[in-house]
Amino acid sequence: EPEVTQTPSHQVTQMGQEVILRCVPISNHLYFYWYRQILGQKVEFLVSFYNNEISEKSEIFDDQFSVERPDGSNFTLKIRSTKLEDSAMYFCASSEEATDTQYFGPGTRLTVL
Amino acid sequence: GENVEQHPSTLSVQEGDSAVIKCTYSDSASNYFPWYKQELGKGPQLIIDIRSNVGEKKDQRIAVTLNKTAKHFSLHITETQPEDSAVYFCAANDPGYSSASKIIFGSGTRLSIRP
Identity (one letter) of the amino acid at A55?
S
Nearest neighbour of A55 by CB, restricted to B100, B106, B108: B100
Residue B8 pLDDT greater than 90, yes or no:
yes
DSSP string, A22-89: EEE--TT--EEEEEEE-TTS--EEEEEEETTEEEEE-TT--TTEEEE--SSS-EEEEESS--GGG-EE
Query: Quick check: A96 contacting B, CB < 8 Å?
Result: no
- A103, A95 Cβ separation under 8 angstroms: yes
Q: Which residues of A touch B97 (CB under 8 A)?
A: 56
pLDDT at B98 (0 to 100) = 62
Query: pLDDT tens digit string along A17-42?
Result: 999 999 999 998 999 999 999 988 88
Query: Quick check: A33 contacting B, CB < 8 Å?
Result: yes
Averaged pLDDT, A95-113: 90
CB atoms within 10 A of CB A78: 14
Interface touch B101/A98, C-beta < 8 Å: yes
Averaged pLDDT, B10-16: 97
Q: Which residues of B touch A45 (CB under 8 A)?
A: 94, 102-104
pLDDT at A8 (0 to 100) = 96
Dist. CA A5–CA A106, nearest whole Å: 7
Query: What is the distance in angstroms between the CA of the first residue and the CA of the last residue of chain A?
Result: 37
CA distances from A23 to A35, A78, B23, B90 (A): 12, 11, 30, 24
- What does pLDDT average to over chain A? 93
A53-57 and A65-68: which strand pairing? Answer: unpaired
CA distances from B113 to A18, A20, B62 (A): 42, 38, 15
In chain A, what percentage of residues exceed pLDDT 90?
80
